[in-house]
Amino acid sequence: MKTRCSQEVMKGFHFHQCSRSAWKDGYCKQHHPDTIEERRRIVEEKWQAKAAKSPWILLGKAKKEIEELKAEIKILKG
């Protein structure tokens, strides 16, 4: 007899045990903590990549670079 995944999932307004077969450590592939962590990591990386291209982030970087260049010019003018 195959054991079922030990994760509780919501179906409608009630919680039920996942109907998939246990894959490792009592969890199915979808609900295993390692798989969940990997999915979260991928989502976070995608979000970071998208945020890095954001106009607000780019504007902040440009302003910081301008301030650094102004400070360098001030030092060079002496």
d(C-alpha 24, C-alpha 17), whole Å: 16
Read off the pLDDT band of 59 (50, 70, 90): very high
Predicted pLDDT of residue 72: 95
The domain locations on the chain are 8-77
State how far the alpha carbon of 7 is from the alpha carbons of 28, 32, 43, 60, 74, in Å.
8, 9, 22, 44, 63
Predicted pLDDT of residue 27: 92
Predicted pLDDT of residue 68: 97
Predicted pLDDT of residue 31: 93
Predicted pLDDT of residue 47: 95
- Mean pLDDT across 24-46: 95
Question: Are the C-beta atoms of 24 and 5 separated by less than 8 Å?
Answer: no
**Global pTM exceeds 0.75:** no
